[in-house]
Structure 1
Amino acid sequence: MGRIRALAGVISLFAGLLFTTANLAVAAQPAPELVLNLTSQQVKLSDYRGQVVYLDFWASWCKPCQRSFPWMNDMQAKYGEQGFTVIAVNLDTERKLADEFLSKLPAHFPVAFDPSGNSAQTYRLKGMPTSYLIDKTGQLRIAHQGFHVDKQASYEQEIQGLLAE
């Protein structure tokens, strides 16, 4: 177990070094459907159609994920009433690790759990965290690999732009 977490930490560090570009080019296309296992229910990503969705893939060992959660909470609080929802998909193989993370950094938005990693395969993740902005019509519009504190203002502008459409 300790070796796996150490290896995951090294991968996260190198992914952070390799993927310094915050925005990835995404041609507008339908967001692949996901069935999300939330704490109390199961929902589909398409259930959120009509809202701007910030779909974030994370894991407990991911250092940039620790920096992103306060910002995502702020964005949910600021724009939630305007039709914005953050959905975080945890990819830890052990739920207990995610629960420990969330006890320190509570999420004020839906959190789904995918220990099998099927959603990561569907979205072809290349690093942690990876986030997607999905417009009101369910189209993928913007992807971010990593979370860069110095780019928070531009991330927020992207949200504002999609909400204004």
Structure 2
Amino acid sequence: MTRLLPLMMVGMAFTGLAMMAQAEAINVPAPDFTLESRSGENLRLEDHRGEVVMLNFWASWCGPCRQEMPLMDDIYSQYKDLGFTILAVNVDENRDEALRFLDAVPVDYPILYDPESRVSELYEVQAMPTTVMIDRNGNARYVHYGYQPGYEDDYEQQIRELVRE
């Protein structure tokens, strides 16, 4: 499988912003995976080919995730009818912790569970949250590490760009 981290590091070197950077130089196939969703069905990334996918890795203990997820829900509502979706991958070992988090921070987009961190390892996730923007052809195009207020503006700009392609 294609590994993303070496290319992400190249992208970060261009921006000079280390772990707070978006890696705009990324344009590699996003590794496929299948995970169980909150609804109980298995969702596969490949099944979303033709859509722009915001792949977001999060955890219940992550303060920035608590800030970011409601903003992502607004983005999802705004762009879902344009061929856009969010796949939010929870990495908690105990699903009950994720469910308690979601009771406090409800969202409408799909939640997937990765309790053994297989998919987060496949994507070499180093920070919570980590967000990968995937284009309609299945290529990882942008990567964001962590969350700070204002990142949602970058997300929307990238989504608009990728939806238009």
Does TM, normalized by the shorter one, top 0.5? yes
Match in the other structure for 1:30: 29
**Cα shift at 1:19:** 5.7
> Which AA in structure 2 matches 1:162?
L
**Cα shift at 1:66:** 0.4
> Which AA in structure 2 matches 1:127?
A
Cα pair 1:128 1:145 within 8 Å, conserved? yes
Match in the other structure for 1:60: 60
Match in the other structure for 1:117: 117
- Larger deviation: 148-157 or 71-80? 148-157
Match in the other structure for 2:49: 49
Length, aligned pairs only: 148
**Cα shift at 1:20:** 5.2
Match in the other structure for 1:107: 107
Note the residue ranges of structure 2 that are not aligned, 5 or more in a row.
1-16
Give the TM-score of the pair, scaled to structure 2: 0.85
Match in the other structure for 1:160: 160
**Cα shift at 1:110:** 0.5
Alignment of 1:129-148 (within 5 A): 129-148=129-148
Cα pair 1:19 1:146 within 8 Å, conserved? no
CA offsets 1:57-77 (integer angstroms, 9 cap, x no match): 000000110011111100110
**Cα shift at 1:142:** 0.3
Cα pair 1:26 1:140 within 8 Å, conserved? no
**Cα shift at 1:109:** 0.5
Match in the other structure for 1:10: none
> Which AA in structure 2 matches 1:89?
V
Structure 1 outlier segments of 4+, above 4 Å: none
Match in the other structure for 1:83: 83
Note the residue ranges of structure 1 that are not aligned, 5 or more in a row.
1-17
Distance 1:31-1:20 versus aligned 2 partners, 3 A rule: closer
**Cα shift at 1:21:** 1.9
**Cα shift at 1:25:** 4.3
**Cα shift at 1:157:** 0.5
